[in-house]
Structure 1
């Protein structure tokens, strides 16, 4: 059994651990670390914020972003879980061009080295703030205020470079009405992330393109995105903070269909409707010709990079369909294991999946996240099977709410011995799954996946190996 340890990921100079092909040929499962750690490293590298450096270039008194020339002073605004690594890459390339910048990251994920690098090079030209995640709070409200105030300081002859990654929906705005409605949607049991984004885009002060309304009309905005959403639609990444909402006002119809609208009191309905109307009117004043956008990394890019890495090691690889990871985490895991067993098998094979799962929590949930819950469900499905092992993990390095005084896991490993080992220690996989309490079980088994903050966020991934 492997103990808890952090996976040493890095952004460049990645070395691929050599697979023991004779061990694979024998039908035995390979060492977990030598199999999965290079794949985790490759996934992180391919979607890291450092990728934005390939899309920016200084030119005389202007900046080239994704082939577009941005004239005048450059102002940089970064929001999301990968904001710090994206900002670091841009500052490395464009420090002399940047007039001022603001960066909103996730609490607890502002790495000291990155923070110091940015302060050394930009000093008081850069503001770095931390917002609340996964649930917005007072720090998120403060971050939203700071973004709005920064946008108001941008002069009319300037250009804006926006760096956007997932997580910004919670990180950069908060108010009681929006929080109440989003919670009601989550508790409806019929939710997907698109519905949460719909609410946020319609009534936020910042998202759904609202942040653009605080900039002068003459300012061009070039946005670079690390996508964590289905289809890589930029209006869904961080709920469209620098993108015009394509669906203004549609959240009301969605809330009516879910039965949530009738549960709001009359004053809440009126306040919600007023915000929708005001926001839609503000968006109608924005010229879309001012805006350009480019997705520089996504879960599909990472999944393909992982598949290529595994093939170089001599493995057969099956790359699952986009959005293979979706819906309730425990059911998703069972579905994947059954599909793998039904898939034609011709020797050692790695199955790679991507997407984003969810967990509908009960009244008193335990500790853990969707990836740990999926791993536990998969472990129960493969109990006693010596031919399958795998990993479910969140590419941002965090899975579920933070655990006080403990490292935050990215996910968890599983194999055919997981349930037996748990029972030998007096742990019940069945009770842990039913109580959404997977973290203590995997912690005690030493089967947590610990990466630390990764500098990116391209949703969930699963690597499942069949000998």
Structure 2
């Protein structure tokens, strides 16, 4: 696999001092460049880099830290390193995404389908914020993945109900906004309810955004922010994707029992939220790094959504236009984009949305000379696999054929992981403990 230690050894090839001698047509240097851009993008949105400047002043009373998400443990670690004064609390993160903290407890739980560990952590968080006063501060650390990790079923619903609906949403092709709309209205804490549980303490929410467009009310289903969506909106999503609901879950939504607190609710007065890191920041960092190396970089968008294979078709068309006609950009250049694609599961293969994107891109480019690409999830985990993403070269299909691998067959089976693993082209970073979603880089030389 394209290991990080190998990349570290090669990155000396790409130092600014040697940029005039870098030959991006060389396959090895092209791959090293793409991995360097990915690593740069991830580092730019790490909690240790982004969080410290935004810490509030300590309150008169107690400070309690709570939070959920793939970056929650790293955020808690950054708080501990820079906080002046007493501190306690609990955050929940995905299995394997923990960090060593001394004053803030870190609990690990399941993602993307919630489990009992997440449900217990959610209950303990509510208990921690009971009995606070107006002199106290609740510092809430929220990042992508928090919807599944902060599992607190609404009254009358069970964890099994949430697990089944979550699985159905993940397989449906629903985008993150649609999924979180449903999740908010089946939860006891999402959609602003966690903030209400902290009253009368002031709540400051620090967020790392995994949402295209960076709407803070959608990040981890907005547990500390008021929610403009309704139970009717949630039912519309369910109908759109033909998801079957148990009678008692449908009744919960139809009765309005799942309604969330709305914008303008005075109970949120005095609270504050700050978005620390976004996909745009990661793309700008990668773009700056490319320019350091003497390469033009163009950010296509930070908020691309849609089916991964459809997004790949559009990216392939742009790359082909650049390669063939020098439009809209002259080569050599690198095209960057972010956001969150979706995959409607049709087969039984392994692979997240970035592997799916890259496999569809390989099919669409059909070995076009001079085009290399990387797609990866900034959290280090593409879907539920152990890779962040993968790499594509002009010779990918040729090498695949020699190994008996069919790109089209693997795409039909949603098996991007199996395809790129067979070529030793997976990118394996381990959990990065941050999360601003997809990162894509296409090098055209």
TM score, norm. by length of structure 1: 0.85
Query: 1:260: Cα distance to partner?
Result: 4.4
- The whole-number CA distance in structure 2 between the counterparts of 1:49 and 1:283 is 28
**Match of 1:247?**
229
1:392 to 353, 375, 378: 375
Instruction: From the superposition, tell whether residues 210 and 284 of structure 1 become closer, same or farther in structure 2 (CA, over 3 Å).
Output: farther
1:160 to 127, 138, 142: 138
1:327 to 292, 306, 316: 306
Query: 1:253: Cα distance to partner?
Result: 4.4
| Worse overlay, 204-213 or 282-291 | 282-291
**Match of 2:280?**
300
- The whole-number CA distance in structure 2 between the counterparts of 1:78 and 1:223 is 9
**CA distances 1:104-146 after superposition (whole Å, capped 9, x unpaired):** 1111222xxx32xx13xx2xxx321112101112222122212
**CA distances 1:434-456 after superposition (whole Å, capped 9, x unpaired):** 11112122112110011111121
1:232 to 204, 214, 221: 214
* Matched-pair contact (CA < 8 Å) for 2:227–2:261: no
**Match of 2:336?**
352
* Matched-pair contact (CA < 8 Å) for 1:371–1:393: yes
- The whole-number CA distance in structure 2 between the counterparts of 1:378 and 1:439 is 14
Query: 1:168: Cα distance to partner?
Result: 0.3
- The whole-number CA distance in structure 1 between the counterparts of 2:435 and 2:232 is 27
Instruction: From the superposition, tell whether residues 151 and 184 of structure 1 become closer, same or farther in structure 2 (CA, over 3 Å).
Output: same
**Match of 2:162?**
178
**Match of 1:271?**
252
Alignment RMSD (CA, Å)? 2.6
- The whole-number CA distance in structure 2 between the counterparts of 1:22 and 1:216 is 60
Query: 1:23: Cα distance to partner?
Result: 5.0
Q: Does 1:421 align with 2:399?
A: yes
* Matched-pair contact (CA < 8 Å) for 2:38–2:439: no
Q: Per the alignment, in what secondary structure is the counterpart of residue 260 of structure 2? A: helix
Instruction: From the superposition, tell whether residues 271 and 176 of structure 1 become closer, same or farther in structure 2 (CA, over 3 Å).
Output: farther
Q: Does 1:207 align with 2:155?
A: no
- The whole-number CA distance in structure 2 between the counterparts of 1:255 and 1:295 is 27
Q: Per the alignment, in what secondary structure is the counterpart of residue 129 of structure 2? A: helix
**Match of 2:202?**
220
Unaligned runs of 5+ in 2: 153-158
- The whole-number CA distance in structure 2 between the counterparts of 1:410 and 1:227 is 18
Instruction: From the superposition, tell whether residues 451 and 215 of structure 1 become closer, same or farther in structure 2 (CA, over 3 Å).
Output: same
- The whole-number CA distance in structure 1 between the counterparts of 2:95 and 2:281 is 27
- The whole-number CA distance in structure 2 between the counterparts of 1:438 and 1:8 is 23
Matching of residues 71-220 of structure 1 within 5 Å = 71-94=60-83, 96-110=84-98, 114-115=99-100, 118-119=101-102, 122=103, 126-152=104-130, 154-173=132-151, 175-189=159-173, 191-217=174-200, 219-220=201-202
Q: Per the alignment, in what secondary structure is the counterpart of residue 3 of structure 2? A: coil
**Match of 1:340?**
319
**CA distances 1:248-282 after superposition (whole Å, capped 9, x unpaired):** 33434424652748x435433223345x4365369
* Matched-pair contact (CA < 8 Å) for 2:380–2:432: yes
Q: Does 1:313 align with 2:293?
A: yes
* Matched-pair contact (CA < 8 Å) for 2:226–2:260: no
| Worse overlay, 389-398 or 154-163 | 154-163
Aligned length: 429
Instruction: From the superposition, tell whether residues 72 and 389 of structure 1 become closer, same or farther in structure 2 (CA, over 3 Å).
Output: same
**Match of 2:4?**
6
**Match of 1:405?**
none
Instruction: From the superposition, tell whether residues 282 and 157 of structure 1 become closer, same or farther in structure 2 (CA, over 3 Å).
Output: farther
| Worse overlay, 246-255 or 276-285 | 276-285
Query: 1:399: Cα distance to partner?
Result: 0.4
- The whole-number CA distance in structure 2 between the counterparts of 1:265 and 1:442 is 39
Query: 1:243: Cα distance to partner?
Result: 1.0
Instruction: From the superposition, tell whether residues 184 and 455 of structure 1 become closer, same or farther in structure 2 (CA, over 3 Å).
Output: closer
TM score, norm. by length of structure 2: 0.89
* Matched-pair contact (CA < 8 Å) for 1:413–1:447: yes
* Matched-pair contact (CA < 8 Å) for 1:74–1:99: yes
Instruction: From the superposition, tell whether residues 237 and 80 of structure 1 become closer, same or farther in structure 2 (CA, over 3 Å).
Output: same
